Amino acid sequence: MAASAIEIRSIDRVPASERHGRPRDQFTLWFGANAQITAIVDGALAVVFGADAFWAIIGLLVGNLLGGTVMALHSAQGPKLGLPQMISSRAQFGVLGAVIPLVFVILMYVGFAATGTVLSGEAINLIIGTDNRSIGILIFGAATAVLAILGYRYIHALGRVATVLGLLGFAYLTVSIFTRYDVSHAVFVKPFELSTFLVAISVAAGWQLTFGPYVADYSRYLPQQTSERRTFWCTFAGSTIGAQCAMTIGALAGGLSAAGLGGNFLANQVGYMGNLAGGGLLAFAVYVMIVTGKLTVNCLNAYGSFMCSVTISTAFTRRSSVRPSARVFAVLAVIAVSVVVALVASSDFLNLFKNFILLLLMVFTPWSVINLIDYYKISGDRIDVPALYNPAGRYGRWNKVALTSYAVGILVQIPFLSQSLYTGPITKLLGGTDISWIVGIAVTAAIYYPWAKATHRPVPADAVGRDAVELDASDPTGEERAPLA
């Protein structure tokens, strides 16, 4: 595939002849995807909803390290398998069973795309000098569509640009905060509280875990012999450093805003960043950085929506690849929905976003536990690739072990939830401390690991890595399916 070619792969396995790149490419992609305005807002949430800025920063760091570890473990699967993340999860959930978590994934894409479009639209409006919020939103939506349709190479290139701009922009903003404001008014103004500290951890961990369902989509093009360790560390470093830089600025901005310095962050997140920069050309540069960083992750969301929608449809059609027009349709559909949501978004943006992040943490934690336990403790990279596209094959339509563990892992968290719409009875006894995701991890692992290990059927060596989808003898339709290569 030529360097300038539009991506032709979809949910099929990437053959050895098309593998390319280096693990360090994962660093720039994921730094660029994290060093952006929504992560700044995410960091401010911990302060806006009760934590002292200092303890919020520490909690965010813990959450990023924990969630980033899980996220990078998913990424390390990519070179060995050469498969999209949610296609490989059919090995745990079954070909049709994998559709269930995919529904939540698509909702996540739309939610993050919509929130990112709101913030980036504001930055574009400030760049071009208009008060019509629809203009910025539509421009950003169009730019996302073009790049997501072009695919993998162009998204990586954008990530490299966003990394450079993010490093420069965040370094300047940090210096500006400490030289223009008395930061002592933002930190150590409240005592340590376990409940708000855990909220900060949860917000950051949830942020990282939301990348899990598609992180391997961007490492699957690496050569198969690529070190899992290097893939892990490059992804981990890019994602956690980028997110922590952005969230730290957000926590400080939230603390300064609460102290009445720099403006009102709650009322105008993007404009507040411009004020921190000092206005004028410096603010202009920060707005460009905001748009570039947000465009990177929005492309990931749009691209991921295509992968997920195709994964759902092919679970029923038994195809292993789709026409390029499917990418265009899926990308345009999710962007259209996200743009509409952005145009009618509620003014209570921060509160809605906080609860959205924590809800995603509840549904993605059990999925990550199941996927990682199966790959690293049970099956490894011994996957019968053709069976991933055949509901009548080795992995079947539904895997009761994974699906039962997943359902219990979600339900057991409900009594421990702490959200505006619902607070669990056990959370009340804990003084409002939300430990639902910790409970979800422990219970899911305790159920899934022994059950899956006891029922596991090893894949024969001659079934691993085949590049053609074979027609199963039990298939009554006799439908021909596209080859993987």
What is the identity of the amino acid at 407?
A
- Of 60 and 322, the structure prediction assigns the larger pLDDT to 60
pLDDT, position 454: 92
Q: Are 183 and 174 in contact (CB under 8 A)?
A: no
pTM score of the predicted model: 0.83
pLDDT, position 42: 85
pLDDT, position 72: 95
Mean local confidence (pLDDT), 168-196: 87
Q: Please tell me the distance from the alpha carbon of residue 261 to that of residue 193, in angstroms, as a whole number.
A: 24
pLDDT, position 152: 65
Q: Which residue has the tokens 């345009």?
A: 332
| Dihedral sign (CA 372, 376, 381, 383) | negative
pLDDT, position 1: 39
**% of the chain with per-residue pLDDT over 90:** 24
pLDDT, position 424: 79
pLDDT, position 233: 96
Q: Which of 286, 261, 271, 284 is nearest to 180 (CA)?
A: 261
Mean local confidence (pLDDT), 17-23: 83
- Point out the least confidently predicted range of 181-195, 284-298, 356-370: 356-370
- Of 141 and 483, the structure prediction assigns the larger pLDDT to 141
pLDDT, position 116: 80
Q: Please tell me the distance from the alpha carbon of residue 266 to that of residue 279, in angstroms, as a whole number.
A: 19
Residue 466, pLDDT above cutoff 70: no
Token code pair at residue 153: 């190479």
pLDDT, position 458: 79
Mean local confidence (pLDDT), 183-192: 88
Residue 132, pLDDT above cutoff 60: yes
Token code pair at residue 333: 């559909």
Residue 473, pLDDT above cutoff 80: no
Q: Are 272 and 263 in contact (CB under 8 A)?
A: yes
Distance (Å) of CA 445 to CA 61, 125, 452, 466: 24, 47, 10, 31
Mean local confidence (pLDDT), 361-372: 88
Token code pair at residue 438: 């910790």
Q: Please tell me the distance from the alpha carbon of residue 25 to that of residue 231, in angstroms, as a whole number.
A: 9
Token code pair at residue 179: 């030289």
Of how many residues is the chain composed? 485
Mean local confidence (pLDDT), 101-123: 83
Query: pLDDT for 76-93, tens place per residue?
Result: 998 988 888 888 888 999
- Point out the least confidently predicted range of 23-37, 256-270, 281-295, 421-435: 421-435
Distance (Å) of CA 471 to CA 389, 415, 481: 10, 46, 8
Token code pair at residue 408: 């219990």
Mean local confidence (pLDDT), 237-247: 94
Residue 75, pLDDT above cutoff 80: yes
Token code pair at residue 51: 């934590």
Query: pLDDT for 316-354, tens place per residue?
Result: 877 766 676 777 787 888 888 888 888 876 556 656 666
- Point out the least confidently predicted range of 211-215, 282-286, 473-477: 473-477
Residue 467, pLDDT above cutoff 50: no
Q: Are 329 and 305 in contact (CB under 8 A)?
A: no
Distance (Å) of CA 195 to CA 143, 199, 339: 40, 6, 35
Q: With bands split at pLDDT 50, 70 and 90, how would you rate the model's confidence at 426?
A: confident
Q: Which residues of 67-95 are buried (b: 16+ CB within 10 A; e: fewer)?
A: bbbbbbbbbbbbbbbbbbbbbbbbbbbbb
pLDDT, position 4: 43
Which phi and psi (to 5°) does residue 423 adopt?
-125, 125
Query: Which residues neighbour 131 within 8 Å (Cβ) at sequence distance 6 or greater?
Result: 125
Q: Are 270 and 286 in contact (CB under 8 A)?
A: no
pLDDT, position 472: 34
Residue 8, pLDDT above cutoff 70: no
Q: With bands split at pLDDT 50, 70 and 90, how would you rate the model's confidence at 462?
A: low
SS3 track for the chain: CCCCCCCCCCCCCCCHHHCCCCCHHHHHHHHHHHCCHHHHHHHHHHHHCCCCHHHHHHHHHHHHHHHHHHHHHHHCHHHHHCCCHHHHCHHHHCCCCCHHHHHHHHHHHHHHHHHHHHHHHHHHHHHHCCCCHHHHHHHHHHHHHHHHHHCHHHHHHHHHHHHHHHHHHHHHHHHHHHHHCCHHHCCCCCCCCHHHHHHHHHHHHHHHHCCCCCHHHHCCCCCCCCCHHHHHHHHHHHHHHHHHHHHHHHHHHHHHHHCCCCCCCCCCHHHHHHHHHCCHHHHHHHHHHHHHHHHHHHHHHHHHHHHHHHHHHHHHHCCCCCCHHHHHHHHHHHHHHHHHHHHCCCCCHHHHHHHHHHHHHHHHHHHHHHHHHHHHHHCCCCCEHHHHHCCCCCCCCCCHHHHHHHHHHHHCCHHHCECCCCECHHHHHCCCCCCHHHHHHHHHHHHHHHHHHHHCCCCCHHHECCCCCCCCCCCCCCCCCCCCC
